[in-house]
Amino acid sequence: MRKSRRQIANRIIEATGVALVVLDAVVFFAVYRPLGLMMGQAAGRHALMRQTIRKQQVRVDLLKRYEAELPAAGKGLQDFTTDRVPSRREAYSTAAHLIHKVAEASGVTISQMGYRLDTEHHDPLQRLGIEINLAGSYPSLLKFSHALETSNDFIVVREFYFTPGGEDGGLGLRLGADLYLTP
């Protein structure tokens, strides 16, 4: 009898052990593993959200800084347009006076000059196109173009090329520039 009770007890213990192993496998695959995957996905989403929040916070800080600097920039832009950009009414006389003054100071002669107002674009500043043909020595022509580009008026040289000179052996310069003006 002892043997049969022992066998019964062993079988019960074996069955219980096998049942616990099967229950452990079922719990692992049915509960623990999916829960671990969901937690990993949640942790990934959390890290992604934190990274997005950090990027957005940097962007917000940058925009706050721009907003704080905006009044000073507006004042600077207003000062720029007041001091360096002539009105449309004064544009032609300002351009002519500037070009003749710079040409005289540089020692070059103006052979031809033309203006063209750009009315097609609707930008905050209008452009007055200036085409100038000059004659003189190479250093004088360079001095003219440099003085024109660095003048107090908002003028940008857009074309610049040399042409063969006249009878005196000098050079010619064809220069295209834009004078920006307020409407």
pLDDT tens-digit series, residues 72-123 = 776 766 666 666 566 667 777 778 888 889 899 988 888 888 888 777 766 7
Residue 81's pLDDT is what?
A: 64
- By CB atoms closer than 10 A (0-12, 13-18, 19+), residue 140 is buried
CB 176 within 8 A of CB 157: yes
Residue 50 Cα to chain centre, angstroms: 26
Residue 60's pLDDT is what?
A: 92
Q: Which residues pair with 177 in a beta bridge?
A: 130, 157
Q: Which residues pair with 21 in a beta bridge?
A: none
Q: Is pTM, for the whole model, over 0.85?
A: no
Architecture of domain 88-181: 2-Layer Sandwich (3.30)
| Sequence spans of domains, the chain | 1-84, 88-181
Residues of the chain falling short of pLDDT 50: none
Residue 49's pLDDT is what?
A: 94
Q: How far is CA 38 from CA 23, 29, 42, 46, 62, in A?
A: 21, 13, 6, 12, 36
Residue 10's pLDDT is what?
A: 84
